[in-house]
Amino acid sequence: MKIAVIIAFAMIFTLAVLSPVAAQQTVEDQYWEAVKNSTNAEDFRSYLKEYPNGKYAALARLKAGQKAPAASFLSFKTSMPMTNEAFLERWENHLRPQLPITIGNYEIYRSAAPTSVENYYYNSVRTTNPSSQLDIRGQAKELKARLLSDYCSSEAYQRKITVVLGFSYRNSDTYSHHLAPYDCKQGSTNAPQTDAEYLNAWAAEVRVGLPEWIAGYQLKTSWSRCPDGCKEKDSSSYLVLKFGTEGEQQNARIDDLKRDLLPSLLQVYCQTEAPGRDISLGVFFDDRGQQADYNNFWVSPNECPAKTVQN
């Protein structure tokens, strides 16, 4: 079929020289004329590779069996008043049939609204370019930059919904980035992020890719607690990390659990904004035996070296 397309394209090019009508066609028009009646999906993929935003791109995608590009990802709008919970449910139902959605070198292969009342929309992303020189954090940053303008003009932004982009690499390394209301410029400056917004976004980021093993302990889930605006209300502001335990861990002293986990937690915690905001980590454990002393410990700003605390 490829040889036939090449011959047909050569014939069209010859006619373009001899015919005034054909001469008015662009090279893209001539390419499309050569492949439009093909029964080989590869011909349409070749067209899309040359003209990804061409005048026949939508039809070519249908013939190639491809899904719509990223334009529909953030453009979902509603025509009637509804709660954010209802909006998120409709958005999920709208996007599910379109998956996977290809955005440049990335593919959104899973998309879901939260199972509880939260202003987040979760998306699982993978790269379609395994040879990319960007690490997983660089990939997440690149995709966020690509989508930010669309997000800031979307109904999701107007509703103050945070879009989570959770990346995975070879089913092991995970990382997530957010499209959040505070990313959109208000005049010449970014809108300030409250502690509650920061905690909610942080908890959503941590949950992507869970469960995950840290220093021999399984991190099962995470959520936010603060005086106002978090998932749960408390007098102080902290991020809850909920770990499972097994074997000897179930009856070990809490000091031993803290000794095992603290170095790994501090390595990440002290590089975040949390210490500068006076936000702590509350580390809790499930499945503790009757002989266990306590089920939680705290990681506080004063445990970070002063020079690592970000303000």
The domain boundary residue, chosen from 34, 64, 94: 64
pLDDT, one tens digit per residue, over 133-187 is 667 777 888 888 888 888 888 899 888 888 888 887 655 556 777 888 877 864 3
Instruction: State whether 75 and 183 are in the same domain.
Output: yes
Query: What is the domain range of residue 119?
Result: 70-192
Instruction: State whether 179 and 220 are in the same domain.
Output: no
Instruction: State whether 154 and 106 are in the same domain.
Output: yes
pLDDT of residue 272: 85
pLDDT, one tens digit per residue, over 182-207 is 778 643 334 457 889 889 888 887 88
Instruction: State whether 130 and 188 are in the same domain.
Output: yes
Q: What are phi and psi of 268, to 5 degrees?
A: -90, -50
Within-domain flag for 53: yes
Instruction: State whether 188 and 80 are in the same domain.
Output: yes
Instruction: State whether 38 and 95 are in the same domain.
Output: no
Instruction: State whether 280 and 303 are in the same domain.
Output: yes
Provide the whole-model pTM: 0.47
Instruction: State whether 75 and 60 are in the same domain.
Output: no
Within-domain flag for 201: no
The domain boundary residue, chosen from 64, 83, 106: 64
Within-domain flag for 31: yes
Pairing mode, if any, of strands 120-127 and 162-169? parallel
pLDDT of residue 116: 66
Instruction: State whether 114 and 90 are in the same domain.
Output: yes
pLDDT of residue 133: 62
pLDDT of residue 170: 56
Within-domain flag for 86: yes
Instruction: State whether 241 and 176 are in the same domain.
Output: no
Within-domain flag for 202: no
Local confidence pLDDT in tens for the 311 residues of the chain: 445 544 454 544 444 444 444 446 788 888 888 888 877 777 787 888 888 777 887 777 777 665 555 556 788 888 788 888 889 989 888 888 878 888 888 888 888 887 666 778 888 888 877 666 667 777 888 888 888 888 888 899 888 888 888 887 655 556 777 888 877 864 333 445 788 988 988 888 788 667 888 888 889 889 999 999 898 999 999 999 999 888 888 888 889 899 999 998 998 888 888 898 999 999 999 877 665 557 889 999 999 986 544 44
Total of domains in the chain: 3
Within-domain flag for 199: no
Within-domain flag for 32: yes
Within-domain flag for 186: yes
